[in-house]
Amino acid sequence: DVIKESDTSTRNDEERFDNDMMLMTGELSKLMADLVEALGGEAKA
């Protein structure tokens, strides 16, 4: 699991925070893209 990998591959709290933020922003980006698509795509100007 990603969570288990995160716990074992970091050495300190700052590194763990950076890794968690990078993972979270990547997942959030995918979520937002899927949400826009599910709602019919971007509006045409």
Dihedral sign computed on CA atoms, order 4, 8, 13, 16: negative
Structural domain contains residue 44: no
Q: List the structure tokens of 30.
A: 């995918």
Structural domain contains residue 43: no
Q: List the structure tokens of 31.
A: 């979520």
Instruction: Identify the helix (H) or strand (E) that includes residue 43.
Output: none
Structural domain contains residue 45: no
Helices (H), the chain: 2-9, 13-38
pLDDT digits (tens, 9 = 90+) for 1-45: 555 655 555 578 888 899 999 999 999 999 999 999 999 998 887
DSSP secondary structure letter of residue 24: H
pTM attached to this predicted model: 0.60
Structural domain contains residue 28: yes
**Total domains, the chain:** 1
Name the residue range of residue 10's domain. Answer: 2-38
